[in-house]
Each structure stands twice: as C-alpha cells, then as structure tokens.
Structure 1
Amino acid sequence: MTPGLSLFYGGMVGKKNLISTMLQSFISLGVVTMVWTVVGFSLAFGDPIGIEIDGELYGLIGNPFQYMFFDQVNKLPHISIASSIPFILFALFQMKFAVITPAIITGSFAERVRFIGYVFFIGIFCVLVYAPLCHMVWHPNGLIGAYFGVLDFAGGTVVHISAGLASLAGAMFIGKRRNQHHAPSNITYIMLGTGMLWFGWFGFNAGSSLAANGTAAVAFATTTISSATAMMTWVFFDRMQGRKITAMGACIGAVVGLVVITPAAGFITVPQSMFFGFIGAIVSNLALSAKFLKQMDDTLDVFACHGVGGIVGMILTAIFASPEGSSLLHGGWAIFGSHMVVLVGVSVFSFVVSYAIFFVLNKFVTLRVRDEYEEVGLDISQHGESA
C-alpha cells in the first residue's frame, strides 16, 4: 500500500516534483519501521497509562518500556491483544498502519517541504499523535474503545482522521505554493497506485479480523464493493456537474470508497457498504471544491479525501455498525453521542498536536524550501535526481 500511495501521489504532482513526492511516502517505510520497533509499538500496545474511571483504568498511552526493541514480542499469541496469531506478527501488521498514516499526510504539503524536516516530522508524529490514538482506540483497555465504546475496525479514526487533520495543519502552517497550477506528471502512475492501494486494502481491512474467518470475508466484500460504488458515484457526479469523466477522478473516487469503509468493514452488510461508498464519494467530491480548503492549498486534497472520508465513515459506522449496543441502530442515541464526542476530540487532538509539531520543529529545522528551490523543483533541489 505504501509504494502504491507513492505512485498515486507521485503521478498527481508536477514533473519536477515526482521523485521527491514518491520518496516522501516510501521513506516512511524506513523511518516509522525503526520508530515502531524501538518505542512505537510499546506506546501503542504496552500496559495502559491513563485515568481511572469507576475503578477501571483506561489508557491514554502505553508503557514505553514494556516492548521496547520488540522485547517480549515473540511467536506466541498474546492472550488479550492478539490471541489468534503470533504476537510478533500482530506487531508487524500494526506497524504497516503506522507506516502509511504519515505517508498519507505528505500529499497536503507536496512540492514545497524540505525533505529533512519531513523526516523529523513523521518520527515525532508517530510518537505524539499516532501511538496515543492507536492505544486509546485499539488497546483492550484504551479510553476511546473500552470506555466510550467507539468502533474502528481497521483505522478510520486512527489512520484517516488523524492523517486528514494533520494534513490540514500542515497545509495551513507551511503555506501556499508559488505556483498552484500544473498538469499531473503521470496519469498511469495514478492508476497503477490506485490498483496497488485497492489490492493492499484487502489486507488492511480484511486482515484486521486477525483470522481467516467469516468476518474477514465480509470485510473483504464490503471493502471492494464500497470502493467500486464510490468510484462510479464520483465519475457520474462529476458528469452531472458538467465536468468530464477522468481517469484521475475515477481513481480518487475509488480511494475515497476505501477510506470511508475502513472503520466499519467488518461490522456492516454489503448493501450498507454500497451506501457508505455512495455517501462518501458525494461528500468528499463536494469538499474538494470547498472555497475554504482551496485557500489552504492542500496540494493533493488529502483532507477532502482522507479527513472528510474518515469523518463520514466514522459517522456512518456510529449509525449502522451491527455489534450489540455499538451504534445508533443497535444501541440508541447514547452510543451515537459517544462517537460524536470522540470524533470532535480526535479531530481537535490530531490538528492541534500536529500543528504544534510543525511549529516547534520549524524553530530547529526550516520546513519550507527556499523560493528558488521550489521554482527549480524538489527533485533537483532536494535530491539531485530527475524523473
């Protein structure tokens, strides 16, 4: 999925920024893998450190020393966290979620960010934003999952909302490009990247059942059907708005369908997944042309696709998810209200902490390239390479 995202983003930017944009996604495999091994997994799935409510401890973050350097992470299952697969397999599977989240953010400030500043950012983001959210949502005693009862099957909240709001913070802090108008460098890269993402998402969503079972099969089905529905909705909605049907539009629609289904993939039916894809495509398509977002210069519309898509997915999950007592239709307004409170809280947390990281980091490592470097392109100015 991460190389797929690299191609997807790389094809969208101008030719003089193709390599730099692709590398920003690809390098996340290196940076986050190291951070996750040393301390990230421990922060996400270590014993909870948090607050006590009614005699129960609910985690805000994990013990940073418990699984440092994958200590005690071995081939045996973990009785409460990963009882169906080897614990080390679970740790590596979760690592891939951590890898792709900051890679998603890169699209918001593409074509104008210094590479070294970005590398520092993703390491810090993994520790201060991703790991706490991962712990609160997916640890058995996490505050969001265990206390508020919020469902996130495969990362709608943990991955897409956090990345979407961080993207908005990045676009706002780093500022607009000198030249916002360019032709995509390679439409075939976009289509190839979309295919890799779509295929990889089966592992992302179906794999989150941690078993080859009925839940995995349902997640597999809802994932591809939501994506297909969103793709077709996107292209026909474009046509209804007087725009041509484009390959890039079809690809963006497909990815939005994948985003919106992610939090609910194993909790809903196939007809409901079609509704998810339809609504997600319409809302994200409208967000794409919102005047507020255009003023921010979110280069590849990451917030409109991943942020808005993740938010829509979380809201629909709060309405339709089928486990007993877990959604509006299966538990009433109280659980729906809990989801909405968490939605606001996670959005504010992701945006504020990410903006603070950009602000503080910029004091030590200038994040934006010089005007002349932006003009010549980041491929040459940052890496001395050309596509």
Structure 2
Amino acid sequence: MFDQGNTAYVLITAAMVLLMTPGLAFFYGGLVKAKSVISMMMLSFGAIGLIAVLWVLYGYSMVFSGAAGGAGATEHFIGIDGVIGFDPTLFSLNALVDQANSATKAGYPGLAFAAFQATFAIITVALISGAIADRAKFGAWMVFAGVWATIVYFPVASWVFNFTLGKDGSVVDGGWLARMGLIDFAGGTAVHINAGSAGLALALVLGKRVGFAKGAYKPHNPPFVMLGAGLLWFGWFGFNAGSELAADGTASIAFINTLAAPAAAVLGWLVVEKLKDGKATSVGAASGAVAGLVAITPACAALTPFWGMVLGVVAGAVCCLAIDLKFRLGFDDSLDVVGVHLIGGIVGTLFIGVFAYKGIGLIYGGGFHQLGVQALAALVVMVYSFALAYAIGWIIQKTMGFRVTNEDEIAGIDTAVHGEEGYVLLDERV
C-alpha cells in the first residue's frame, strides 16, 4: 500500500535536488571569465545527461545491490541479474521497473528512491568541474565523468548510503562505512569530500591556468553567482530534508539546520573576508552560503539548531581562509572546490563526532569513538577518490588530452570548444 504523502515528498525533493545542478551551472558560470561561461555551464549539463543515463543502466544496481538497502535494494549488480548469472538485456531497468509496483516500509515506491538518489550522483560529478574551469575539453570531461562515476562515486555511495536498519535503529547490513557507524545523513563524505578530492586531483593533472596568480581572475558575473547560490540553497532543502525520505520530525530538524547553518556561514565568511581583504562581497556571501550548506549536509539531522549555527559560522570562516591554500601550495583549483567542498565536508563530518546530540557526540558523553569513525571515513573517501581521479585524469591527459591549448584558453574556450558565445553584445548583421 502506497503512502501518497511520502511518495509525493520523495518525488518533489528529488526534483529539487536536480535543480541544484543547473543552479551550480549558474554559480560556477558567473565565477569564470565571460569567454568561458558556456563551457563552464556545459560541464554541469553534460553531467546531467551522462550520469542520469549511467544511473539507469547500472549505477543504481551498483550502489544498492544485494539484500542491503533500506529503501528496497535489488539483487542486481552492475546491471546483470545476480553476480554470476548473465543477462545483458536487462541492465538495471528491470530492477527499477520491478520496484515501481512495490512499496517500501515508508510507503513510497522503490522507484521514487532510485530517482532521488540519481540526482545525488549527478550533482556530485558536476561539483568536480569547478576545479578545472577555463581549461578543460568537454569530450575529455565527459569521459572522466563516466569513468569516475562508475569506479568512484557508485562504490563510495554504496559504502555510505546502502544499508538496512534493525529494529533498534542500528545498521545491521549494508556498506562497510555505514556498518562501521558513520553518520552522514545526506552526503558529506560520499558527495562533498568525494568531489573535493577528485577536484584536487584534476587540478594537479591539468596544471595551472595561464597567468595563475592571486587576483588574476575576477568573476565576470556576480549576479549569476548569487542566482546560482539561491537555486542551490533552495534545492538543498530537498537534498538534506529529503534524505529522511519521509515528511516527519527528523526531516524538520534537517530543514531548519539547512536554513540556520548556511545563514550563519554567510556571516562567518563575510566577517573573515572583511578582516582579511577589507570588503564584504556578494561573491563572498554566496560562497559562504554554499560552505555552510556543504558543512551541514552530513550533520543536518544530528545537531540541534544552535550547534548547526555554530557549525555554519565555523565553516564559513574556515572555508574563507582555506580558499587561499591554492596560492600557498601552488595548485590551481579554479573555483575553490577544494576550499569549499573538501574542507567544508571535512569540517561538517568531524563536527558530528563532537557535537552530535542524543549521547553520540563527545560533549554529550559519547566519548571519542564517533569522532574516530567520522575521521576514518573522511580519510578513506579522500584517499580513494583522489588516487583514482588522478589516475583517470592522467590517462585521459596522456591519450586524448584533457586540457585545451594555451591559445584557446587565452582567447576563451567557448568558441573553440562549443562554437558559441555567452554574450553577443553587437548583432553582426547590422
């Protein structure tokens, strides 16, 4: 018997999360130079097209294979019936259709859950693209996105999101990080640390942009940046509160924390920016909101609103300082995927170990155990994603080439790669 309320909730929040990727396209697109805006936005839209198809073909089966999976997993793995049996015509479409007519314990179809999780895969891949802005070939990016999703995101998502709960609420089966006791409600490890580590790897593989130096690149369209941040924030309510998969009290906690933490992070970022650079900027406000959203993602259901705001202030301040690491350490992370998503994801993941309520966090008498679990999970995902992303990117660079020529980079890669311009200010027919 289907619960129409929960079914509607899951489907609506899935649509909200999908909107985050076009929002990210605007956010990233406004940060690059005017002659690269089409290329930057296309990396996000390319991710939507490719990862959605791979998810239906085999991604869902990889992530939620076996008996585990609180939302009703399948017995399919890599799109094939069973681990040994071989039926190349089924892929995971068969598993998805089967679940259209079966309700989970929460009363929504398993197919709705599959759609919700697809949007997580899409946004995670799209986040990486900010690290290689202004200098990446579209075709090479698509190859990287497909391979990375297959051998990095899908396995890591299974480690974190594929689990079965026992009667007492503990994880009794599923991915090994979930069984270990990791608290990651909506993807601090599987999404943000994962994407941030891959972004660092690709930034190192592709090397620095021509003329890389502090202050050399200015966002060409701050209103785009703020529009993108607004769309991201809206979609993030679906990302975090939607991860409860039911319209209940836990979803309400996640929702209020998704409001309070990024709001506090805006203030934290702007204060540090004012002290550091002398001005509080619109791009800083937008970046602070995203930093707070990243940090609260794993912790949104584990913190009281007060500690959620504390996390937001900390994340906004820390990430504002962390974006300068690329100049000190000499890697060109174009749009601060490392400084915001990797660092913000780590801050939020570790914060749980200290401040999670209900006797879990250190200050609530939970001891150091949860902090150790959170730290180990963050480290494992970071190393796994970085190593494989570096290897994939290096192979692509050495074979088909990942980076555009210096001439195309200087001229602006929109016309060279896509044959389009973001802004046509003069009609050439006149």
Q: TM (normalized to structure 1)?
A: 0.92
Report the equivalent of 1:55.
none
Q: In the TM superposition, what whole-angstrom CA distance separates every residue of 1:226-248 from its partner, at most 9, and x where no partner exists?
A: 01000011112211224211100
Asked if the contact 1:48–1:142 (Cα under 8 Å) also holds between the matched residues in 2, the reply is no
Q: Structure 1 CA distance, aligned partners of 2:242 and 2:102?
A: 16
Asked if 1:94 corresponds to 2:94, the answer is no
1:320 Cα shift?
2.1
Task: Give 1:143-162 correspondences, 5 Å limit.
Answer: 143-146=176-179, 148-162=180-194
Asked if the contact 2:350–2:374 (Cα under 8 Å) also holds between the matched residues in 1, the reply is yes
CA RMSD of aligned residues (A): 2.0
Report the equivalent of 2:126.
103
Asked if 1:114 corresponds to 2:128, the answer is no
Report the equivalent of 1:142.
175
Mark the CA change 1:68 to 1:331 in structure 2 (over 3 Å): closer, same or farther. farther
Asked if the contact 1:320–1:330 (Cα under 8 Å) also holds between the matched residues in 2, the reply is no
Secondary structure in 2 matching 1:30: helix
Q: Structure 1 CA distance, aligned partners of 2:258 and 2:151?
A: 29
Asked if the contact 1:38–1:70 (Cα under 8 Å) also holds between the matched residues in 2, the reply is yes
Asked if 1:223 corresponds to 2:263, the answer is no
Asked if 1:335 corresponds to 2:367, the answer is no
1:328 Cα shift?
6.8
1:110 Cα shift?
0.5
Report the equivalent of 2:197.
165
Q: Structure 1 CA distance, aligned partners of 2:201 and 2:401?
A: 16
Greater mean alpha carbon deviation, residues 1-10 or residues 171-180 = 171-180
Report the equivalent of 2:38.
19
Q: Structure 2 CA distance, aligned partners of 1:293 and 1:302?
A: 16
Q: Structure 2 CA distance, aligned partners of 1:69 and 1:364?
A: 31
Q: Structure 1 CA distance, aligned partners of 2:263 and 2:417?
A: 38
Secondary structure in 2 matching 1:263: coil
Asked if 1:283 corresponds to 2:318, the answer is yes
Report the equivalent of 1:249.
284
Asked if 1:273 corresponds to 2:308, the answer is yes
Asked if 1:42 corresponds to 2:64, the answer is no
Q: Structure 2 CA distance, aligned partners of 1:286 and 1:375?
A: 29
Structure 2 residue runs without a partner (length 5+): 1-19, 69-74, 82-89, 164-173, 423-430
Secondary structure in 2 matching 1:152: coil
Q: Structure 2 CA distance, aligned partners of 1:45 and 1:326?
A: 29
1:284 Cα shift?
0.8
Identity %: 39
Report the equivalent of 1:53.
none
Secondary structure in 2 matching 1:184: coil
Task: Give 1:346-357 correspondences, 5 Å limit.
Answer: 346-357=381-392
Q: Structure 1 CA distance, aligned partners of 2:126 and 2:77?
A: 26
Structure 1 residue runs without a partner (length 5+): 50-60
Asked if the contact 1:48–1:63 (Cα under 8 Å) also holds between the matched residues in 2, the reply is no
Equivalent position amino acid for 2:276 in 1: Q
Asked if 1:75 corresponds to 2:124, the answer is no
Secondary structure in 2 matching 1:102: helix
Secondary structure in 1 matching 2:100: coil
Equivalent pairs, count: 374
Report the equivalent of 1:363.
398
Secondary structure in 2 matching 1:111: coil
1:28 pairs with one of 47, 67, 70 = 47
1:88 Cα shift?
0.6
Asked if the contact 2:189–2:377 (Cα under 8 Å) also holds between the matched residues in 1, the reply is no
Mark the CA change 1:311 to 1:7 in structure 2 (over 3 Å): closer, same or farther. same
Greater mean alpha carbon deviation, residues 228-237 or residues 66-75 = 66-75
1:125 Cα shift?
1.0
Equivalent position amino acid for 1:6 in 2: A
Q: Structure 1 CA distance, aligned partners of 2:183 and 2:102?
A: 23
1:20 Cα shift?
0.4
Secondary structure in 2 matching 1:27: helix
Q: In the TM superposition, what whole-angstrom CA distance separates every residue of 1:343-379 from its partner, at most 9, and x where no partner exists?
A: 2111111110111111222333210111221122110
